[in-house]
Amino acid sequence: MEFSRLTSSLQHVSSLIEYIENENQVLQENLNELNFYDVNNRALLKSFQQQQQIEADSLQEMNQRLKEKLFDYETELQQSNQYCQQLQDQSINDKDKIEELMINIKRLEAKLYLPASQPYQIPEKNKNIETNRLEEFIDKCQSYLMVNLNSEQINDDNIEVVIKAALIKKQCQSLILWNNHLTCYSISRLSSALSMNKSLTKLSISKNHLSDSAIKDLSESLSFNNCTLKQLVLSSNEITDQGLIYLSDMLKTNEHLIVLGLQDNKITDKAIQYLSQIIQFKNQVIEEISLYSNKSITDGSVDDIFNMIRHNQSLKTFWIRDCQLSEQGKDKLQQSIQDKNNFDLLV
């Protein structure tokens, strides 16, 4: 009996041990599974934190860029406001000078007992001779090439011959009108006809003593992108700051013009500041600008020219020799092309 009870107890204990071992095995498997989930959760948490950090860095960088852009816009607005104020002040001074000049003109007219001077009128007979000679000269030029009317006495009386024969009939690629007698009327007629020529790529109207109002007409015509003109040369025309402002406004919308020649005019630091803003922020087509021999351009323009060269990616040539720049100013401009490949800077 006693042995039987012991045997039964041992069996019970053995069963209990087996049960406990099974339970331990289940618990161990559950623990392993929990450890697996814990590792995965830690990896997911780490990945999530890294992603959050990346997004935070990206947002911070974007915020910094927006701040920089805002600062640039505010700076540009401030400069524009300053320049507008300068123009207003200059306008008041110019108005006083004009009034003074008008008084002097009236005094001279009174002394001479003559009306205001009239332009010289060519006799009708001579007009016909000149017109016929001009038509014959242009007719000898080859179509779609250059028509060179350098020093050919072109004026208001025969500009229509040039327009019809050279621009429309010959469809010339290059029209040279250097050293003639063009006026605001001539330029107005010429500007209106530019859209009738789909081959013209170069127009030189140098040394004609044009007024700023003539430059205004030309600039307005070129603002519409309805012609193929790529090179515009206006040297030795006594163009002032106002003329350069008209041309600068044209460059905001013109997508064809790549060469602008303005050497030997009456441009000053004031208009260079305005041109610089346009070239930096509104034009990515222009490749060459020539401003040499403008004697009123000083070191006051160096920073504006520096920024123009550094920030415009299309500009490849800038000539500003024979102006009133100091050696220090020239050295600074040389620094503006350090990161530019094959940039032609003439100071």
Q: Which of 204, 206, 199, 152 is nearest to 172 (CA)?
A: 199
Of 6-10, 98-102, 219-223, where does mean pLDDT reach its minimum? 98-102
The 10s digit of each residue's pLDDT in 123-143 is 443 455 577 888 888 988 877
Whether the predicted pLDDT of 122 surpasses 70 = no
pLDDT band at 209 (very low <50, low <70, confident <90, very high): confident
User: Given this model, what pLDDT does residue 116 score?
Assistant: 32
Quote the percentage of the chain above a pLDDT of 90. Answer: 55
Whether the predicted pLDDT of 193 surpasses 90 = yes
Q: Which of 262, 258, 259 is nearest to 246 (CA)?
A: 262
Angstrom distance (rounded) from CA 313 to CA 308: 9
What residues pair up with 176 in beta bridges, in sequence order?
A: 148, 204
Angstrom distance (rounded) from CA 299 to CA 324: 7
Q: Is the dihedral of CA 310, 344, 339, 269 positive or negative?
A: negative
Whether the predicted pLDDT of 53 surpasses 70 = yes
For the question of whether the overall pTM of this predicted structure is more than 0.85, the answer is: no
Does residue 173 contact residue 145 with C-beta atoms inside 8 Å? yes
User: Given this model, what pLDDT does residue 130 score?
Assistant: 73
Q: Is the dihedral of CA 103, 104, 105, 111 positive or negative?
A: positive
At 233 the three-state DSSP class reads strand
pLDDT band at 113 (very low <50, low <70, confident <90, very high): very low
Of 42-46, 214-218, 254-258, 306-310, where does mean pLDDT reach its minimum? 42-46
Angstrom distance (rounded) from CA 194 to CA 149: 17
Q: What is the torsion angle, in degrees rounded to the nearest 10, for the CA atoms of residue 245, residue 246, residue 250 and residue 251? A: -20
User: Given this model, what pLDDT does residue 103 score?
Assistant: 53
CATH homologous superfamily for the domain 128-346: Ribonuclease Inhibitor (3.80.10.10)
Token pair 């406004």 is found at 249
Whether the predicted pLDDT of 29 surpasses 80 = no
Whether the predicted pLDDT of 107 surpasses 50 = no
Whether the predicted pLDDT of 309 surpasses 60 = yes
